[in-house]
Amino acid sequence: MRAFIGAAVLFMAAGCGATAEEATERAPATTAAESRGHLSPTPAPAARIQVSPDQHRILSAQCEYADTEELRGECRSAVERGYRVGEENPALDCRRYSGVSVCGPLPLSERERRCVTDAVAGGTTPRRAEVECYVNF
């Protein structure tokens, strides 16, 4: 699953029509959270992704839902390192469920990933399960 998510993030970071070399240059950097098995919304430092003020606000606010204080801090740092305010980025995966808006990949803990697996097995869509498990733990 991690390879699938990595490929999806690579595709999102690369954008349509990018060469393999361009995609690799813009691929997300690995963070401490990722090395422990957590996803992180961190693009490579040199490839700061331009997002609208609203998208940046959502990215920053969603860090408050991370499972631990350490993950919340890593998430906030990742947003500041990886994104810059500019024009709206239609390629950024933003969604809203249960009154909560999130954008990009979520830094899910092991407990949250188990929650997603269980919710999907119960019939919830993967995108919705990610948001609900991220917010509710």
- For residue 107, is it within any domain? yes
- For residue 97, is it within any domain? yes
Reply yes or no on whether the pLDDT at 20 is more than 90. no
Confidence of residue 55 (pLDDT cuts 50, 70, 90): very high
Tokens at residue 11, please?
């595709």
Tokens at residue 75, please?
């998430």
Q: Residue 67: its pLDDT value, please? A: 86
107 or 52: which leads in pLDDT: 52
- For residue 16, is it within any domain? no
- For residue 127, is it within any domain? yes
Reply yes or no on whether the pLDDT at 32 is more than 50. no
- For residue 25, is it within any domain? no
Task: Provide Rg for the chain, Cα atoms.
Answer: 14
- For residue 53, is it within any domain? yes
Helix (H, G, I), strand (E, B) or coil at 97: strand
Mean pLDDT, the chain, rounded, equals: 76
- For residue 3, is it within any domain? no
Q: Residue 137: its pLDDT value, please? A: 81
**Overall domain count for the chain:** 1
- For residue 19, is it within any domain? no
pLDDT digits (tens, 9 = 90+) for 115-135: 999 999 999 999 999 999 999
Q: Residue 76: which domain range?
A: 49-135
Look at residues 23, 41, 50, 25 and name the one whose alpha carbon lies nearest to residue 78.
41
